[in-house]
Amino acid sequence: MFGFGKSKPSPEAMLTDLVEHNADQIARSEGKDRTEATYLAICLIFDDMMSKGSKQGYQDMMDLVQTRYVQHMKDVVTYIAWTTGRIALSPEADAAMVERNQ
C-alpha cells in the first residue's frame, strides 16, 4: 500500500524517466521533434546537476548518456564544454548554440 519493502529505483532508471518526461514536455510545449527534445532535456538536467554541484548526479547522467543516449554524446559534450567556458566557439557557432538551447 505505501511501498514498504519495495526497492528504490536505480539512479539510471530515475534519470531515464526524467529525461523521457522532460523530452515529452519539451516536444509538446515547444513543438520540437523527439530527437531535439531529448537533447534539450538532457542539457537541462546537466544544467541542474551543475548548478547544484552534484558530482555524483553529473556522473550518473554522463553514464546514462554514454549508454542509453549515445547518439547525443557529441552534442552534449560540446554543450557542457561551451556552458562551462572550456571551449570558445566562433561567433556563428556561438549564436547557433544559443539559438538551439533557448
Any domain includes 24: yes
Where does residue 36 rank: exposed (0-12), middle (13-18), buried (19+ CB within 10 A)? middle
Any domain includes 2: no
pTM of the complete model: 0.88
Any domain includes 6: no
Query: What mean pLDDT is reported for the chain?
Result: 92
Where residue 25 falls (left for φ over 0; alpha for ψ -120 to 50; beta otherwise) is alpha
Q: Is 94's pLDDT higher than 80?
A: yes
Any domain includes 90: yes
Any domain includes 29: yes
Q: Is 1's pLDDT higher than 60?
A: no
Q: What pLDDT is attached to residue 62?
A: 95
Q: What pLDDT is attached to residue 2?
A: 58
Which cell numbers in the block locate residue 71? 547518439
The total domain count for the chain is 1
For 2-45, what is each residue's pLDDT tens digit? 556 678 888 899 999 999 999 999 999 999 999 999 999 999 99
Any domain includes 5: no
Residue 57 domain boundaries:
11-100
For 51-78, what is each residue's pLDDT tens digit? 999 999 999 999 999 999 999 999 999 9
**25: closest CA among 14, 38, 15, 43?**
38
Which cell numbers in the block locate residue 101? 538551447
Any domain includes 89: yes
Q: What pLDDT is attached to residue 8?
A: 84
- Between the alpha carbon of residue 60 and those of residues 77, 78, 82, 94, the distances in Å are 14, 18, 20, 28
Any domain includes 4: no
